[in-house]
């Protein structure tokens, strides 16, 4: 676990996107524990529906790239992941909006699943033996958050394991090198998926607007809507010109559909 500079044993504020992500992960963890109490078969069905299995995804389980990150099995691993999620997401939320942090987490999780699906799909045509791996946990989202911090705030110094001071960019590089080394082990699919999450987080940090993807999509939507309205105004202006010409009257409009008055001093000019 890492922490920033002068207050090594305190975490960022628990609010906004950070609180939502941690609570959703906790709720799913306790739901899985409850399923285990009911029966082992119920727990396996719960796990099989939500965890990401590339073969299952190709057979119609299309929701798994989003749900696998909320599935946790072991208590210690879950505790470490959620504390890391709290710290990293909370750190970013001090400088960015909740929508931005949510978008970064979602993109990183989807990038992780996409990388796992890609290496699984290519292993068959390339005749490359690959042990099937069912993925669960928010490791991809956490890696994406870490890479975003290393990209945007690389000079920020953290305390690794509360003892060793290290800059954010170097910590992200170390985790990346570990994932690359794992590509030569039996966990290569897991490692490749991690790198996919890291790449997605880096791209998001480089290209996403500061207010998040939802703001970008809303801006694009309003831009398309306004373009459509301008097109309708120009079309109506052309029709009106034709109609007025038939009435032996001349009316002119500019390229935006605004009326051009012959008298430049006319105060009733259209806008």
Tell me, what's the pLDDT at 91?
Answer: 92
Tell me, what's the pLDDT at 256?
Answer: 64
Nearest to 131 by CA among 182, 184, 189: 189
Tell me, what's the pLDDT at 187?
Answer: 82
- Is the confidence at residue 264, as pLDDT, over 60? no
Tell me, what's the pLDDT at 213?
Answer: 52
User: Whole-number mean pLDDT of the chain?
Assistant: 81
Tell me, what's the pLDDT at 199?
Answer: 95
Distance CA 169, CA 151 (A): 7
Count of Cβ atoms closer than 10 Å to residue 143 Cβ:
29
Count of Cβ atoms closer than 10 Å to residue 26 Cβ:
14
- Between 243 and 16, whose confidence is greater? 16
Q: pLDDT tens digits, residue range 71-100?
A: 988 888 899 999 999 999 999 999 898 999
Tell me, what's the pLDDT at 239?
Answer: 73
The residue-averaged pLDDT of 196-206 equals: 93
Q: pLDDT tens digits, residue range 203-258?
A: 999 887 655 455 455 555 556 767 776 777 777 777 777 777 777 677 776 666 66
Q: pLDDT tens digits, residue range 128-181?
A: 666 678 899 999 999 999 999 999 998 888 876 667 788 889 989 999 999 999
pTM above 0.85, yes or no: no
Quote the DSSP letter at residue 13. Answer: P
Tell me, what's the pLDDT at 6?
Answer: 39
Residue 3: pLDDT band (50, 70, 90) is very low
Count how many Cα atoms sit within 13 Å of the Cα of residue 72 in the half-sphere of its side chain: 22
Query: Cα dist. 62→55, 66, 121, 138, 141 in Å?
Result: 11, 9, 15, 18, 19
- Is the confidence at residue 119, as pLDDT, over 90? no
Tell me, what's the pLDDT at 271?
Answer: 42
Tell me, what's the pLDDT at 131?
Answer: 67
Q: pLDDT tens digits, residue range 39-57?
A: 888 888 889 899 999 888 9
């Amino acid at each position: 676990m890492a922490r920033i500079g002068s207050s090594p044993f305190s975490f960022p504020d628990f609010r906004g996107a950070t609180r939502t992500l941690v609570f959703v992960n906790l709720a799913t963890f306790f739901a899985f524990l409850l399923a285990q109490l009911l029966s082992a078969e119920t727990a396996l069905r719960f796990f099989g529906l939500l965890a990401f299995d590339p073969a299952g995804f190709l057979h119609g389980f299309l929701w798994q790239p989003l749900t696998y990150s909320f599935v946790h099995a072991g208590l210690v691993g879950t505790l470490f992941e959620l504390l890391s999620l709290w710290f990293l997401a909370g750190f970013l939320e001090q400088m960015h909006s909740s929508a931005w942090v949510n978008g970064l987490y979602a993109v990183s999780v989807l990038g992780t699943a996409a990388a796992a699906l890609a290496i699984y799909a290519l292993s068959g045509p390339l005749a490359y033996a690959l042990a099937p791996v069912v993925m669960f946990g928010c490791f991809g989202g956490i890696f994406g958050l870490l890479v975003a911090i290393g990209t945007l705030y690389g000079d920020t110094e953290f305390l690794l394991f509360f003892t060793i001071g290290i800059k954010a960019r170097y910590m992200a590089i170390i985790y990346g090198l570990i994932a690359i080394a794992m590509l030569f082990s039996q966990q290569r699919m897991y490692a490749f998926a991690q790198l996919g999450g890291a790449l997605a987080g880096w791209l998001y940090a480089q290209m996403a607007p500061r207010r998040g993807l939802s703001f970008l999509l809303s801006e694009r939507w309003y831009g398309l809507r306004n373009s459509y309205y301008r097109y309708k105004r120009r079309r109506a202006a052309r029709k009106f010109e034709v109609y007025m010409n038939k009435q032996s009257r001349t009316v002119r409009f500019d390229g935006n559909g605004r009326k051009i008055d012959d008298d430049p001093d006319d105060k009733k000019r259209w806008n």
